[in-house]
């Protein structure tokens, strides 16, 4: 039996525990950790730390449940450590990409990372990098669900909306950014792998040619 993806589960645990610790620390401590558009380049650490900041209890609990679901999915499908690296790379990129929308003053929470993680697992399943029964079907369904959610939110027109239930602004653009970088980085990994295979094949061809050439000289 294939071992579970420890690296992915460890990253899930890091996000979950980090979020809890930041929440317990309180606003006075985590205020410098919040990503703000007008200080984005002056405070690069917030590209990572802002994901662990949550505005209220409902916000925190919802994202903790989402992280638990993502960890459970990873336990079942068992992604490789390369997939975890792709997810880690999306972490700062999805945050800094919010500068595209001038309406966004700040953004916090794990939702961007949750969307990125789901998109990455979806692409891996669709491309059968993860070997489970009906992997392509599950990958297509997961990506379709994300696409439908993005179409409903249409974050490109409404990057920020007010949630009266939780009494907070929801940065929908963070969801869009997460899916975008999840898909792009996951597909880029495939291109990089193809380039590496071609390079190895090219080197083998050269070594084979070099080994045959002296024999031809002796026959001459």
- Position 167 scores a pLDDT of 83
Q: Are 35 and 47 in contact (CB under 8 A)?
A: yes
- Position 2 scores a pLDDT of 56
- The two most distant CA atoms of the chain are separated, in Å, by 87
Q: Are 50 and 108 in contact (CB under 8 A)?
A: yes
User: What are the Cα distances from residue 32, in Å, to 35, 47, 50, 111, 146?
Assistant: 8, 12, 9, 20, 32
* Domain range 6-193, CATH architecture: Up-down Bundle (1.20)
- Position 4 scores a pLDDT of 61
- Position 14 scores a pLDDT of 98
For residues 194-212, give the mean pLDDT. Answer: 49
pLDDT one-digit tens code per residue, 160-187: 999 888 789 999 999 999 999 999 999 9
Backbone angles phi, psi at 96, to 5 degrees: -70, -25
For residues 26-31, give the mean pLDDT. Answer: 92
For residues 95-103, give the mean pLDDT. Answer: 96
- Position 191 scores a pLDDT of 72
Residue 35 and residue 39: Cα distance in Å, rounded? Answer: 8
Q: Is the pLDDT of residue 198 over 50?
A: no
> Residue 52 has which token pair?
């662990």
- Position 164 scores a pLDDT of 87
Residue 138 and residue 76: Cα distance in Å, rounded? Answer: 12
């Amino acid at each position: 039996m294939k071992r579970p993806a420890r690296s992915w589960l460890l990253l899930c645990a890091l996000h979950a525990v980090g979020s809890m610790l930041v929440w317990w620390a309180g606003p006075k401590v985590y205020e410098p950790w919040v990503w703000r558009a007008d200080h984005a380049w002056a405070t690069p650490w917030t590209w990572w730390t802002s994901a662990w900041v949550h505005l209220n209890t409902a916000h925190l609990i919802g994202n903790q449940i989402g992280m638990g679901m993502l960890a459970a999915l990873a336990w079942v499908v068992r992604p490789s450590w390369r997939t975890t690296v792709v997810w880690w790379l999306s972490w700062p990129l999805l945050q800094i990409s919010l500068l595209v929308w001038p309406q966004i003053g700040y953004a916090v929470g794990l939702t961007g990372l949750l969307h990125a993680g789901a998109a990455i697992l979806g692409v891996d399943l669709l491309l059968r990098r993860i070997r489970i029964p009906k992997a392509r079907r599950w990958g297509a369904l997961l990506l379709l669900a994300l696409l439908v959610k993005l179409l409903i939110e249409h974050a490109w027109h409404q990057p920020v909306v007010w949630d009266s239930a939780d009494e907070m602004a929801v940065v929908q653009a963070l969801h869009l950014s997460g899916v975008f970088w999840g898909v792009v980085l996951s597909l880029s990994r495939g291109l990089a792998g193809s380039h590496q295979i071609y390079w190895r094949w090219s080197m083998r061809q050269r070594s084979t040619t070099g080994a045959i050439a002296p024999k031809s000289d002796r026959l001459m």
